[in-house]
A and B are shown apart, each in its own frame.
Chain A
Amino acid sequence: MYRETEVIQTIPGTDEMVLNIGPQHPATHGVLHLVITLNGEIIKKVEPHLGYIHRSIEKMCESLSYRQFIYSTSRMDYLSSHINNHACALCVEQGLEVEIPRRAQYIRVIMDELTRIASHCLWWGAMAMDVGALTPFFLAFREREMINDIMEETCGARLTMNYMVPGGVMFDLHPNFVGRVKHFIAHFKSKIDEYDELVTGNIIFQNRLKNIGVLRPEDAISYGCSGPTARASGVSCDLRKHMPYEIYPELQFEEVLDNGGDSFARYLVRLTELRQSMHILEQLIDDIPEGDFQAKTKAVLKLPKGEYYQPIETARGEFGVYIVSDGSTTPYRIKFRSPGFSNLSVLDHISRGQKIGDLVAIMGSLDLVIPDIDR
Chain B
Amino acid sequence: MGLRNYLSDVASGVKSLLTGMKVTGRLFLRHHKEKITQQYPDNKDTMVYPERFRGEVVMPHDDNNEHACTGCTACELACPNGTIKIITKFDVTPEGKRKKAIDTFIYHLQLCTMCNLCIEACPTDAIKMAQTFEHSVFDRSQLIKKLNQEGSKIREGVE
Contacts and interface: CB of A to CB of B under 8 A. Distances in A.
| Direct A–B contact in complex, judged by CB atoms less than 8 Å apart | yes
B89 interface: no
Given A162-B115, A203-B12, A156 B129 contact: yes
A68 B117 CA distance: 8
Given A67-B117, A135-B24, A142-B36, A203 B16 contact: yes
B80 A69 contact: yes
Nearest to A71: B115
Find the residue from A135, A141, A152, A203 having the highest chain B CB count within 10 A: A203
Contacts of B113: 71, 160, 162
A52 interface: no
A207 to B, nearest CB: 9
Interface stretch (A193-201, A255-263, A273-281, A364-372): A193-201
A153 B121 CA distance: 21
B54 A138 contact: no
Nearest to B114: A157
B50 A153 contact: yes
A20 B94 CA distance: 73
A62 interface: no
A374 B102 CA distance: 41
A197 B19 contact: yes
Contacts of A233: none
Given A68-B80, A142-B36, A197 B13 contact: no
B65 to A, nearest CB: 28
A157 B16 contact: no
B36 A138 contact: yes
Contact of A202 (B20, B27, B53, B80): B20
A67 B78 contact: yes
B158 interface: no
Interface string B1-36: 000000000001100110110111001000000001
Interface residues of B, number: 26
A204 interface: yes
B13 A171 contact: no
Interface string B60-80: 000000000000000000111
Interface residues of A, number: 35
Contacts of A139: 27
Contacts of B125: none
Nearest to A145: B36
A139 B115 CA distance: 30
B88 interface: no
A156 B130 CA distance: 11
A221 interface: no
Interface string A196-226: 0111011110100000000000000000000
B104 interface: no
Interface in B91-118: 113-117
Interface in A48-98: 64-65, 67-69, 71-72
A17 interface: no
Contacts of B50: 152-153, 156, 174
A204 to B, nearest CB: 7
Contacts of B120: 165, 170
Given A68-B80, A204-B17, A156 B116 contact: yes
A135 B116 CA distance: 37
Given A69-B80, A71-B115, A156 B54 contact: yes
Nearest to B113: A71
B52 A71 contact: no
Contacts of A203: 12-13, 16-17
Interface string A111-135: 0000000000000000000000001
A215 to B, nearest CB: 26
Contacts of A199: 20
A162 B13 CA distance: 46
Contacts of A152: 50, 52-53
B111 to A, nearest CB: 12
Contacts of B22: 197
B16 A68 contact: no
A157 B22 CA distance: 37
Nearest to A150: B50
A162 B116 contact: yes
14 contacts: A67-B117, A68-B79, A71-B80, A71-B117, A139-B27, A156-B129, A157-B54, A160-B114, A162-B113, A162-B115, A170-B120, A201-B16, A202-B19, A203-B17
Interface of B: 12-13, 16-17, 19-20, 22-24, 27, 36, 50, 52-54, 78-80, 113-117, 120-121, 129
Given A156-B114, A162-B116, 17 more contacts: A64-B80, A65-B80, A67-B78, A68-B115, A135-B24, A153-B50, A156-B53, A162-B115, A165-B120, A170-B116, A174-B50, A174-B52, A197-B23, A201-B19, A202-B19, A202-B20, A203-B17
Nearest 3 interchain pairs by C-beta? A68-B80, A71-B115, A156-B52
